[in-house]
Amino acid sequence: MLKSESTVLVKKKDMKDEIKYYKDFKVYHVLTATLIFISMIIMIFSNDNPVILASVYVFIVSMIICSREKQKFKTGFYYFIPIAVLIVVINMFFVSSGSITLFYLFHKRFTLEAVVYAVVFSFKFLAVIYIFLIFESMIDTDRAVSYFSSVMPKSTLMLMISFKLIPSMRDRFKNLKEIYEIRGVRFNKKKSKEKTASYIPVLSILLEDSMEGSFAIGEAAYVRGFLSGNRSVYERQKFYIRDYKIIVLSIALIVFYGIAEFKNWVRFNIYDGVTIINFINIGIAAIFAFVVCITLLVIFNCEEKKDGFYRN
């Protein structure tokens, strides 16, 4: 009897609900996430230095490790592989600059510098993909719309209309095309002139509908008093000490990076030849330190929240 009771207790203990936690990066203010995003994007697009790119990857890899949606990053990497191969192949075939020759093929010289540049460019492309995914994980869409609507209402309204207009136009185009096909209009004509002429009625109706929709949105905004007074906010997002720390560091990083670019501390051109100074100097070390500090602040100042209940 005692043995059976102990067995039941062990089973209950094994089946006990386990609460898992995840790091919520959406607790930061919209401006905080935006400044981090801008600082990383500036460094990615404006520089080819592998050490600067490595500092960005310190932030990216740390955020991926702490993220709950690792599948998105895996999917992004799968899409990156064929594009990276294509970039390397194209750069090797069309660029012959460099002093170190790897091999000759069809009387064409393939250099190590071309391969290195293509690899760096490929990882810059991957970094952009990951930075956008991280930005998505750090920002809440409703809060972002609310914040930017209060800061720049006209631009935010135009962007929202544009984002809404494109998918609605696509769906409307499909519906109109199906209607005209039922009426006997053939769109799969061989001559381009005839094919264009068959699409003119569909496109004219689509243009008319889009203009009517835009006017309707404008009239609705006017009736509701858009920009006629101070905009009310349902839930104003507050700045906390963690936000101020990250904002100050992000602005300092952008300013210092601009100075480093002006002083040629981060200059890197693989085709002109590089030395150890191009990899290790005061400017690069300071930028690396800035990125590490921002990464640590973002990770250790976020909040842990319950991810759900799981059975052992």
What does 240-304 look like in DSSP terms, one character per residue? -HHHHHHHHHHHHHHHHHHHHHHTTSS---GGG---GGGTSSHHHHHHHHHHHHHHHHHHHTSEE
Residues 130 and 44 occupy one common structural domain: yes
| Residues 77-119 pLDDT 10s | 888 888 888 888 887 777 777 666 766 777 777 777 778 888 8
Mean pLDDT of 246-256: 92
Residues 60 and 138 occupy one common structural domain: yes
Residues 138 and 246 occupy one common structural domain: yes
Residues 71 and 128 occupy one common structural domain: yes
C-alpha 258/C-alpha 266 separation (Å) is 10
Encoded tokens for 134: 């991280």
Within-domain flag for 11: no
- Does the pLDDT value for residue 52 go beyond 70? yes
Residues 167 and 291 occupy one common structural domain: no
CB 67 within 8 A of CB 133: no
Give the domain-ending residue among 194, 222, 250. 222
- Does the pLDDT value for residue 13 go beyond 70? no
DSSP string, 224-238: TTTTSSPPP-SSPPP
Within-domain flag for 6: no
Within-domain flag for 13: no
Within-domain flag for 61: yes
| Residues 183-237 pLDDT 10s | 777 777 777 777 777 778 888 888 777 777 777 777 776 666 666 666 665 567 7
Within-domain flag for 114: no
| Residues 136-190 pLDDT 10s | 888 877 777 777 777 777 777 777 777 667 777 777 888 888 888 887 777 777 7
Residues 135 and 280 occupy one common structural domain: yes
Task: Note down the domain range covering 71.
Answer: 21-94+122-144+239-306
Residues 54 and 198 occupy one common structural domain: no
Within-domain flag for 128: yes
Give the domain-ending residue among 196, 222, 248. 222
Q: Please count the CA atoms within 13 angstroms of the CA of 16 that sit on its side-chain side.
A: 8
Q: How many CB atoms within 10 Å of residue 116? A: 19
Residues 76 and 135 occupy one common structural domain: yes
User: Which pTM was predicted?
Assistant: 0.71
Number of domains in the chain: 2
Residues 183 and 253 occupy one common structural domain: no
Give the domain-ending residue among 195, 222, 249. 222
Residues 78 and 215 occupy one common structural domain: no
